[in-house]
Structure 1
Amino acid sequence: MTVTDQLIKFAAVTPPQDALTMMRLSLFDWAVCGIAGARAPDFDEFVAAQLARGQGPATVIGGGTAPAATAALINGTLSHALDYDDTHFAHIGHPSVAVIPAVLALAEEVDAPMHEAAEAATIGIEASILTGLWLGRAHYQVGYHQTATAGAFGATLATGRLLGLDPSEMRHALGLCASMASGLKAQFGTMAKPLNAGLAARTGVEATLWAHAGMTAAHDGMAGPLGFAATHQGQNEDIRPGKGDWHITTISHKFHACCHGLHAMLEALGDLRLTSENVSGIHIRTHPRWMSVCNIAEPTTGLAAKFSYAQTAAMKLAGHDTGAIASFCDAICVDDEVRALREKVKVSQDDRLTETQAEITVTESTGALRRLRHDLMTPMSLAERAEKLGAKGVALLGDARADDLWQIAQGENLRDLTDQLLMS
Structure 2
Amino acid sequence: MRRVRAALYLDFDNVFGGMLKLDPDVAIQFATEPGSWLGRLSESFTIEGPRRWLVLRCYMNPAGWVPHPHPHEGAPPRLYFSRFRPLFTRAGFEVVDCPPLTYSKNAADIRMVVDAIDALASEVTYEEFVIASGDSDMTPLLTRLRRADRRTTILAASEAGEALTAVADRLVDSGNFLALVQGEQLGLGDEETDIGDRQAASAAGDTAKVSAPAEPPAGFDQFRSLIEGRYRAASGPLNLATLAHEIRRELGASLDGGDWFGVGSFVRALRWLDLPGAQFSQHYLWDTVRHEAPGSGLNGGGHLELPDPVARLVALLGLPKLPQRSWLRLYQALADYAGSHRFNLTECTRWCRDQLVEQGIDVSRSAVSFVTRGASFGGCPLHRRPPPTAEEIAAAFLDNVLNRAESQDIGLNDEEAALVRAWLGGGLEMSVTE
Point out which structure has higher relative CO (alpha carbons under 8 A, 6+ apart): 1
Same fold by TM (over 0.5)? no
Larger % of helix: which? 1
Larger Rg: 2
Q: TM-score, normalised by structure 2?
A: 0.31
Q: TM-score, normalised by structure 1?
A: 0.31
